[in-house]
Amino acid sequence: MKCRWIAALALVVTACSGLEKIESRVDTLESRVTALEKQVEALNKNVAGTAALMEAGTIRSATEKDGVWTLVLSDDRVITLTAGSVGVGATPVMSVDKDGYWMVDYGSGAQYVLSGGEKVKAKGADGVTPVFGVNAAGNWTVSYDGGKTVTEVLGADGKPVSALPGSGAGGDSYFSDVRYEGGVFTLVLKNGTVLEVPVVAGLRCAIAGAESLQVFAKGETKTFAVTLEGVAETMLTAPQGWTASLSETILSVTAPLTTKATLADSRTDVSILALSASGYAAVAKVKVALDDAPAPVSPTAAITAGEAGETTLSFTVTLSDASSWKYLVRKASEAAPSAEFVNENGTPGEGTGATVTSLEESTEYTIYVLPLNGSVLGSLARLNMTTQAAVITDFYAAYQAGKDVVIGGVTYNKKTHGEAVLVKAEAEGTDLKPSIQTKSAVVFLEQTEGASFDIPAVTTISGDIVLLSRYADKPATVRPTVFIKLVSGSLVMKNLVFDAVNIAGGTNATYVFNNANATADFQNWYIEDCRFLHLQKPVLYAGALTYGFCHLTVRNCVFQLVHQSGNLQLFNFYNCSVLHTYKELTFENNVVFNASCVAAQIFNYGQNTAQDATKTWECPLTVKNNIFYNCPSGNGYFKFYQLSSLKINGNVFWADPESTLASYTFILYSANQDATVIDASGNIAYGLADGKNWALAHSNSTVKASPNTVSKLDENPFTSFDSATGAYVLKAAYSSYGPVR
């Protein structure tokens, strides 16, 4: 017996009969059938491509050569469309009606594509892509199930439609028009249907393994690698009864169990809808099917954290293949129980969750849940949760009562740091110097209405000072007249207002802090929940060239700049020659703003200052979820020599759209700087005049980010921004950027 297979896009095959008469006929038609193969392939690619474009959110690239378009979709699929002639006989020309159903024209007028007497959808969960072929008789065939079953195509007269030359009009182009212009790929079908898909090179959402059907056993979980580029947010959908979750670059899909009350979809798509910051959409799908094999009984449970109180923890439980559950809660420091122990001693669960009471505040606990199906014990599920610290409104009273006060992730209490000092201001300009000069102390500040603190004379920090306001809702105001010297030790500041209105000029009144006369590296400087107002000069001027700051953390702060010209450097390390002594720099959840558009920097050092390249560089710099408003940086917001890592993520850069200034995020000068430790992704920018971009790395930097620009938005990301106070509202589409409070 002799058989001939004709290859089509979906690998549909048509076999000839073993009868001698048919075999002879195949020999006769062989040359003509061979000539049809390329036409069949082009036809099927056009049909499949049309179906793909109907559901594609975006295209990554579109190129044309000799009338054949190659399109790379945002989910990494590559489709080809033949814009020229595709027919040598009565070639099917496909189109789609207004309701999304396939139509076909074999040269005698468009008619609906029918399968079992029913119209065939072109898109949606039950959409089908017809696959055409040519059988040994030279007639068109079609399959609606990926090649499992193949039938001859019948024309309007009920007779098979021949694909051979002379059997139909043929020779016409498949599409009315195909073009790519203005960032949009346009496909016009023969019936006038217009498909327009934007071409967005930087948007990608692809699922590895999505090209083939994924068959699951009941209750089985499979994971798929996901590639996301240029994505601001995602939405996930799954068939009824299926569960799916997306964690960073992993898609996890779990098939339903037979014990579920509702019937699950047996075959459909798990889809990821990815949206860019500019509103473009990309869709990636993986087709899943449920195996018919029975699933073994395997009770499982998942725990979801609920609210955490000072002495309570709430959680919910999701069961699979389980009829009941029990739970037990222990401190995380205690040994984990066995499933048998929880079965014997656990509390029976009621409904879908529970609340545990009478716990200790600020303590981590582990919740253990045992799922059961009759007498069958499942695997223990576990979840760690921590009770809240007591809400403190009076920090001084809480500290004196032995409670913890946490600043910069460090815990301070009476047991470890001794008695507190309470300093009250009942008049404007109360002298703070005696309470912090060359001492180690925990100092609480309290002021009456209209009162404030002052630093009227140069004050030296040479011990370990913790300085914070007594009341959470009444931050104390310090209006220094001259600077504070950070000579040695550490300084921790929380919930304070430093108003620089009185140090705008003068011999020793040009900044709030310096390290003049330093005798050692300053160990820890934590600044949390503070406001710095009326800044015309640096917050820090580090003029001591051979001493630095080991740990500098600035979190949840507001910096109001009022300089009208020049370049304000908030933390100026000047010509420090021992930058290797810096062990950590963090600038997170802060707002830096100016009413007018003037240049500024956050961390800066003199780039011409030589450093000892033989030293070990252990300093990571984290710049996360900040807002930089109307203060572009021509010399780089973060200017340093060498870092062990640089993470710049989730920030909002904004400037007057009319400003002609340029802006750069960072500069690193060491020739030994490792470029692989730099992550400057996930930031947004708006403003600056046309032609002015928001660059990540300055041209003077020894390493560059790739790409080296922050995506410039077409719309203002703010609903409102008060340039007098720094209060703001971000639009919902950009709520994941900026400070997380």
Per residue in 667-721, pLDDT (tens digit) is: 999 999 999 999 999 999 999 998 888 999 999 999 988 889 998 999 999 999 9
Rounded Cα–Cα distance for residues 126 and 397 (Å) = 66
Q: Is residue 103 part of a domain?
A: yes
The reply to whether omega before 348 is within 30° of 0 (cis) is no
286/305 same-domain check: no
pLDDT of the residue at 249? 85
Q: Is residue 370 part of a domain?
A: yes
Q: Give the E-state strand segments of 529-611 in sequence order.
A: 531-535, 540-541, 549-555, 558-561, 567-572, 584-588, 591-594, 599-604
- Average the pLDDT over each of 10-14, 196-200, 340-344, 382-386 and give the range with the smallest value: 10-14
231/332 same-domain check: no
- Closest by CA to 57, choosing from 175, 174, 177, 184, is 184
Number of CB atoms found within 10 A of residue 406's CB: 14
Q: Is residue 327 part of a domain?
A: yes
Per-residue pLDDT tens over the stretch 288-298: 888 876 656 68
pLDDT of the residue at 56? 76
Residues 7 and 37 sit within 8 Å (Cβ to Cβ): yes
pLDDT of the residue at 36? 60
Residue 402 DSSP label: T
pLDDT of the residue at 169? 42
| pLDDT confidence bin for 481, thresholds 50/70/90 | very high
Burial class (CB in 10 A: 0-12, 13-18, 19+), 366: middle
Say if residue 35's pLDDT is above 70: no
The residue-averaged pLDDT of 354-376 equals: 93
Per-residue pLDDT tens over the stretch 233-287: 999 998 888 999 998 789 999 988 764 434 445 557 899 888 888 888 888 899 8
- Closest by CA to 319, choosing from 286, 274, 351, 284, is 351
Average pLDDT, the chain: 86
| pLDDT confidence bin for 165, thresholds 50/70/90 | low
The residue-averaged pLDDT of 625-631 equals: 98
Rounded Cα–Cα distance for residues 224 and 285 (Å) = 11
Two structure tokens written together for 733: 């589409």
R_g of the chain computed on alpha carbons: 35
Rounded Cα–Cα distance for residues 704 and 668 (Å) = 9
Q: Give the E-state strand segments of 255-363 in sequence order.
A: 267-275, 281-290, 300-308, 313-320, 324-331, 347-348, 353-356
237: domain CATH number? 2.60.40.10
377/304 same-domain check: yes
- Please identify, among 198, 231, 253, the residue that sits at the C-terminal boundary of a domain: 198
- Average the pLDDT over each of 2-16, 123-137, 524-538, 707-721 and give the range with the smallest value: 2-16
- Average the pLDDT over each of 116-125, 565-574, 637-646 and give the range with the smallest value: 116-125
Per-residue pLDDT tens over the stretch 202-233: 899 999 888 888 888 888 889 999 999 999 99
272/341 same-domain check: no
243/366 same-domain check: no
DSSP string, 100-119: SBEEEESSS-EEE-EETTEE
Say if residue 28's pLDDT is above 70: no
| pLDDT confidence bin for 1, thresholds 50/70/90 | very low
158 to 155, 161, 398, 727: CA distances (angstroms): 5, 9, 90, 73
Per-residue pLDDT tens over the stretch 54-88: 777 789 898 988 888 898 888 888 888 887 665 55
pLDDT of the residue at 166? 53
32/102 same-domain check: yes
Residue with tokens 């708006």: 686
Q: Is residue 33 part of a domain?
A: yes
| pLDDT confidence bin for 25, thresholds 50/70/90 | very low
User: SS3 string of 424-443?
Assistant: EECCCCEECHHHHCCCCEEE
Residue type, 604: N
pTM exceeds cut of 0.75: no
501/618 same-domain check: yes
pLDDT of the residue at 509? 54
Residues 448 and 473 sit within 8 Å (Cβ to Cβ): no
Decide which of 553 and 693 is more confident: 553
Q: Is residue 530 part of a domain?
A: yes
pLDDT of the residue at 153? 77
Two structure tokens written together for 499: 């108003």
Q: Is residue 3 part of a domain?
A: no
pLDDT of the residue at 174? 73
Rounded Cα–Cα distance for residues 267 and 146 (Å) = 14
Say if residue 168's pLDDT is above 60: no
Q: For the range 564-567, what are the long-range contacts, defined as Cβ-Cβ under 8 Å and sequence gap of 24 or more?
A: 564/596, 564/598, 565/598, 566/598, 566/599, 567/599, 567/600, 567/601, 567/633, 567/634, 567/635
pLDDT of the residue at 303? 96
The residue-averaged pLDDT of 511-533 equals: 95
Give the count of domains, the chain. 4
461/547 same-domain check: yes
Q: Is residue 719 part of a domain?
A: yes
475/489 same-domain check: yes
Rounded Cα–Cα distance for residues 468 and 441 (Å) = 11
Domain carrying residue 331: 300-386
End-to-end CA distance of the chain: 76
- Average the pLDDT over each of 144-153, 213-222, 584-593 and give the range with the smallest value: 144-153
284/305 same-domain check: no
Question: The dihedral of CA 594, 597, 602, 603: what is its sign?
Answer: negative
- Please identify, among 342, 371, 386, the residue that sits at the C-terminal boundary of a domain: 386
Say if residue 572's pLDDT is above 80: yes
228/102 same-domain check: no
Rounded Cα–Cα distance for residues 341 and 389 (Å) = 31
The residue-averaged pLDDT of 532-541 equals: 94
Say if residue 320's pLDDT is above 90: no
- Please identify, among 227, 255, 290, the residue that sits at the C-terminal boundary of a domain: 290
CA 206 to chain centre: 15
Sheet bearing 110-112, strands edge to edge: 93-96, 102-105, 110-112
SS3 content of the chain, % helix, strand, coil (to 5): 10, 40, 50
pLDDT of the residue at 126? 65
Number of H helices, E strands in the chain: 5, 63
Question: Assign residue 495 a region: left if phi > 0, alpha if psi is -120 to 50, beta otherwise?
Answer: left
Q: Is residue 401 part of a domain?
A: no
H or E element: which one contains 668?
strand 663-668
727/599 same-domain check: yes
